[in-house]
Amino acid sequence: MANQVDQEEASFWDEAFPFLETLTRKECKFLLIGNIACKYHGLRTELSEVDLLVSSDADDMMLLFETLHELGWTSKDRAIKKSDDFYLSIPVQDGCIDIISQTPGLHFPEVYERAVNVKFGKLFLKVLHRDDLIRNKSLLDDPRHLDEAIELSMLSTFDV
């Protein structure tokens, strides 16, 4: 069973990692938020989802769309626009990549500066700072996010 989970996770990252690598190479400004940020800050979460907050700056949006095009992720059956605000969901093997340009409680230039640089394989990626993650999670409508904000707040009391 554990081997099957490892293979499923690997297949997800086989698609997600090249996307993150290409965005990084192009110097598109983005942050890892959601499950990966929660996991980094100590919560147990599933990692078959990548949530990105991308700068709404026109240059960064152009780099994002260039990357989506390069990977063949611009077709209607691949990239799904989920709302009038910029929210794109890309299904990948056994998961998805959700890309947004705004979310409650976060102002991109400020949170980008506070983000933590984390090494993922050969990449250094920015992960949303715990305080910003707690603020964002506490402002989202889903009760699951409020629970995560409370758990993250409790974990921060154990920081030395």
Q: What is the pLDDT of residue 3?
A: 42
User: Is 84 within 8 Å of 32 (Cβ atoms)?
Assistant: no
Pairing outcome for strands 116-120 and 95-100: unpaired
Give the chain's domains with CATH numbers. Answer: 2-156 (3.30.460.40)
Q: What is the pLDDT of residue 77?
A: 57
- DSSP code, position 102: -
The string of pLDDT tens digits covering residues 109-151 is 999 999 999 998 899 999 999 899 989 988 888 778 777 777 8
40: its two tokens: 């980094």
| Weakly modelled stretches of the chain, pLDDT under 50 | 1-8, 160
Q: What is the pLDDT of residue 158?
A: 59
The alpha helices in 91-142, defined as continuous H runs, are: 108-114, 130-139
pTM: 0.82
CA distance readout (Å), 91 to 4, 9, 10, 117: 20, 14, 15, 26
User: Is 127 within 8 Å of 40 (Cβ atoms)?
Assistant: yes
Dihedral sign, Cα of residue 90, residue 95, residue 97, residue 98? positive
